[in-house]
Structure formats: C-alpha cells, structure tokens
Structure 1
Amino acid sequence: MNLDSAPERADVAAILEPLDVGLEPALASLHARLVREAQTTHVLDIAYRVVDSPVGKLLLAATENGIIRVAFELENHQAVLERLASSVSPNILHAPSQLEAAAQQLSEYFKGSRTSFHLPLDFSLSRGFRLNVLHHLPDIAYGTTESYAEVALAAGSPNAVRAVGTACATNPLPVIVPCHRVVRSDGSYGGYLGGTEAKRTLLTLEAAA
C-alpha cells in the first residue's frame, strides 16, 4: 500500500497500526487479500510485524532482500516506519507471515535455545565503516563480549573507537546483529539503542545459556 498515494493521502498511523489482533473475520480476510495482491503486483516493498520479547515489543521490517530493521519500543515504531517509508519505499504493509521465520528465530533466541540467527539481512541502511562494524558483530561469539577497541581493530580501523560506538548506536538490526555484545574496555555496558536494561537482559540471557 503506497503511503504517498495522492490526492487521497492515507493517515500513516492508521495504515501502520497492526491488523492481526482481534480482527473481525471479514476484515482479516480483506487484509490477507491486500497482502496477496501487493505481493502479486510487486507493490509490497516493505513488510512488517511486531513481536513480544523480554526487552519489550520489537518491530521487524523486511524488504525482498531480507530484514532491514529491528526497532525497540522506545524508538517509536510508528516513527521508524515513517522513516522507512520516506527513505526506502512508501509501499509498506503489515504482513506478519512474511516475517514468520524471523519471529520464530527470535522466540527461540529468547528461550535460550538459539545462539545464532540464520536470516537474510538487508544492510542498505548502513554504509562505510559502520557497515564494516555490523559485518563483524555476528563474529562475536554468543555469551562473550568484545570492547569497542577490539571491534575497531577487527573492522580495520584501530583508532576508530568512537566510530564503533556510533555504528553500534545506529545499528538498524539490533539483537539479530549483536551490538549488545560490545562493551567498554573496563567491562561496563556502555550505551545501547534499546536502553541499558535491555542490554543487561540480553547479556544475562546469553551468559545463562
């Protein structure tokens, strides 16, 4: 569904509101048909859903290339989707089935039965050194951490410690791309996009497995 369809520009909040909870059968059927038609006519550029987790509700968004965004509640899911609409494509639809594999793997991770993710990822929101950092993060083993300095070295720029911090703070794929495993040299947590408690929860979960 094109969010920019003029002159009848739809209310973004209404379009983006999740539709899979408590729907009347007729509305659920209509929504399913819209998803199918969007896929058939290739106008569904971004599918999204929201899942529950121990660190709050997570927004998952994906293009045909893979997961492009994971967002915490404190980021404001509606605002995240609006940014995706303006920067990637306005063709966004709430299509939970398109993200079933991601939701399942996240559920397994939070239950402690999964230590790595095997999902197609779309890194188009990151470039340059930040992208180098993101590509390295999955190499940090589950249940372990690396310092910002160690990540800078691994990413090819030993002096770019602050840039590593920026890359982690702007990671569009948190949890799946584990920036929570990057800590300060003294072992303290440092900042985290989802908040300090979310970072503590993730690291505690992995340490307990």
Structure 2
Amino acid sequence: MDQKQYLSVFSMDTPVGPLTLASYDRRLCHIDFGTLDETRTKLAEWAKSAGLPADLRENETDLADAAAQIRSYFSGERKGFDLNLLMKGTAFQKKVWMALAHIPYGETRTYKDIAADIGNPQAVRAVGGANNKNPLPIVIPCHRVIGTNGSLVGYGGGLGKKSQMLLLEKQEEKETVTE
C-alpha cells in the first residue's frame, strides 16, 4: 500500500475547546488546540519540519478512532489510549514522551521526576523543552507534568486547559475510589 501524500485532518469539539487531529497513513501524528482554520498554517509548518506532507485534507474517517477515544477520555470513560501513533521528534524527545505516556491517569509528575525516569537527572530543562514539543497532547499526557513546587507551569494549550484536564482526572479518580 502506498503512503498518502497528505495529512488527514479533522476538527472536533471538546470540553477544553476545539481540537484539530492529524494523521499520516492512519497513524495519529499531531493534535493542535483550535479549529482547522486556526491551526492550518502552524500544522502545515510542523508537518514540513517533521518530514511529512504539508497538504492537509479533511478526512473524518481516518481519524474516527482517535476522535472517539478522545471523546471517551473527556466523558470519563477512558483513562488511556490505544491508537497507532507516528511520533516525529528527536531520540531524546521520544524518550521523554514515552516517560510521559507512563504517568498514570489522575497522577502528576515533575520535570525533575521525568528527568530521573529517563536516567538523566540533570536534564530537567531539556525535559521541559521536549515536553513543550510534544505533538500529541492529551494522548501523550504532558498536562500531567507540573513544577517541582506543585504549581501548574507551561502548557501549549494554556494553563486553563491543563487545569481542566487535571481536575477531570482527579474527579474521575475520586468517583472510582468511592464506588
């Protein structure tokens, strides 16, 4: 099967606002906060820098599973994701993103914790930089990373969205424990 020469894209509404999902050859590769109209230029630039086609074509079918799983996450029915992913980044970034993927639902870690988890405790700033470049927020839960003092710091979608997702996860965890 030939790989497509375009990215499939689909915008969806969520409790934290619109999201634009992108996939290449049916593998989710990018999530942006905002509608396709708002994110089109930024997404095309990211695709070029990642070595992917910058031609964006709306295709809900290619992204139906990802959209369904994200809806299930926001409704509290899903605590993790089972999607085919295409992670575009450096080896270090991918190592950080895999560490993020292992942060349990409803829990948080610090940048320092992640640096220790990847075996490089001095790389706290570099971990922050990799976290910032995460192309798949929500699915790779960079919102679960907080400052050493427990404060909410840095989030591409804005701290309000980060706070909303952490509150959703804490609320769902409390409901699960008390049932």
Given the two structures, how large is their TM-score scaled by the length of structure 2? 0.88
Shift of 1:74: 8.9
Residue 206 to residue 139, structure 1, CA distance change in 2 (3 Å): same
Aligned-pair CA distance for 1:92: 2.8
Show structure 1 runs of 5+ residues with no match.
Answer: 1-39
Q: How many residues align?
A: 169
Question: Which residue, 123, 129, 133 being the options, matches 1:170?
Answer: 133
Matches within 5 A, 1:1-209: 43-64=4-25, 66-73=27-34, 76-87=38-49, 88-124=52-88, 126-209=89-172
What RMSD, in angstroms, separates the aligned Cα atoms of the two structures? 1.9
- The one-letter code sitting in structure 1 at the alignment partner of 2:71 is S
TM-score where L is the length of structure 1: 0.76
Separation of aligned partners in 2, 1:74 and 1:120: 23
Structure 2 unaligned blocks of 5 or more? 173-179
The alignment partner of 1:132 has SS state of helix
| Residue deviations 1:13-72 (CA, integer Å, cap 9, x gap) | xxxxxxxxxxxxxxxxxxxxxxxxxxx975443111001011111010001161110001
Larger radius of gyration: 1
What is the alpha-carbon distance in structure 2 between the residues aligned to residue 65 and residue 104 of structure 1? 14
Rate the CA distance shift 1:185–1:102 in 2: closer, same or farther, 3 A. same
